[in-house]
Amino acid sequence: MTKRHLRLGVNIDHVATIRNARGGGHPDPVRAADLAVRAGADGITAHLREDRRHISDDDIAALVETIPAPINLEMAATDEMVAIAVRHRPDAVCIVPERREERTTEGGIDVVASRDRLASVVRVLKQAGIEVTMFIEPAPAQIEAASAIEAFAVELHTGAYCNAIAGERERRRNEIAAAAALAERLGLECHAGHGLTYETVGPIAAIPQIVELNIGHFLIGEAIFCGLEASMQRMRAVMDEWRRVAVPALQS
């Protein structure tokens, strides 16, 4: 499962955040998705939140219809969101916890505590031909539970790693590496994301079992200064260099 090529999923939520600050249609997150794919993104990620604070239902429909790359819909495990996913059939769904008052997704979903509910969500989405990922903290019990409910993948939350100070950051990174190795042993595809920047992405890209990173806020923020294509290309270059050094002999 380990691959030399590390996929970059570009999260376009915050293009919609800027659009929604004024209402209207500009800047259009679907146009940003198209640009990102032309510039080499391996997929597009968008989070349809219960309060629709950034991405809208129409954005999801347009992304699935027009973007020639895999669409990964992040969503809470609610009946409303499951129905939307089944209607639009993105390539993948990433189940995230959601609290209305949070600024961003603050922690991973507790698969252990919500096992039965999540197992039934996985079943419904799988029947619709959608791959299901669980966005979790890098904890062995969560990975084992994700495997037990037959998720396709786990996405390891890198927020605590990114926010940690220097010495602590290495410990957090080692936790993620151990979690990725366990995920692979259990047959789960392993992704990672949240809070990644040019500075923090390298050591995560170097973990060979991780095959996809989902990055949004930093890339969109940097795009203000250098353009989306350039911010993505620089991120890609850092990812690829750390990957090349860490896993030189793997198949691409």
Active site residue 65: no
The answer to whether 39 touches 248, Cβ cutoff 8 Å, is no
DSSP tag of 38: H
**Distance between first and last Cα of the chain:** 11
**Which range binds ligand PXP by CB under 6 A, 52-60, 199-207, 210-218, 229-237?**
210-218
* 26 assigned binding-site residue: no
Active site residue 191: no
Helix (H, G, I), strand (E, B) or coil at 139: coil
Binding mask 37-76 for ligand PXP (x = CB under 6 A): ----------x--------------------------x--
3-state helix, strand, coil in the chain (%, to 5): 50, 15, 35
Residue of 214, 222, 228, 232 interacting with ligand PXP (CB under 6 A): 214
The answer to whether 46 touches 91, Cβ cutoff 8 Å, is no
**Which range binds ligand PXP by CB under 6 A, 59-67, 82-90, 116-124, 188-196?**
188-196
Pairing between strand 92-95 and 131-136?
Answer: parallel
Q: Does 195 bind ligand PXP (CB under 6 A)?
A: yes
Q: By C-beta, is 190 or 248 nearer to ligand PXP?
A: 190
Q: Does 232 bind ligand PXP (CB under 6 A)?
A: no
Q: Does 135 bind ligand PXP (CB under 6 A)?
A: yes
Active site residue 194: yes
The answer to whether 156 touches 136, Cβ cutoff 8 Å, is yes
Minimum CB–partner distance for residue 248 and ligand PXP (Å): 27
Q: How many helices (H) and strands (E) does the chain have?
A: 11, 8
Minimum CB–partner distance for residue 249 and ligand PXP (Å): 29
Residues 6+ apart with CB under 8 A from 43: 7, 8, 9, 10, 69, 70, 71, 72, 91, 92, 212
Q: Given the rule CB under 6 A, which residues bind ligand PXP?
A: 11, 13, 47, 74, 94, 96, 104-105, 135, 155, 193-196, 214-218
> Any idea which residues carry the catalytic annotation?
47, 74, 194
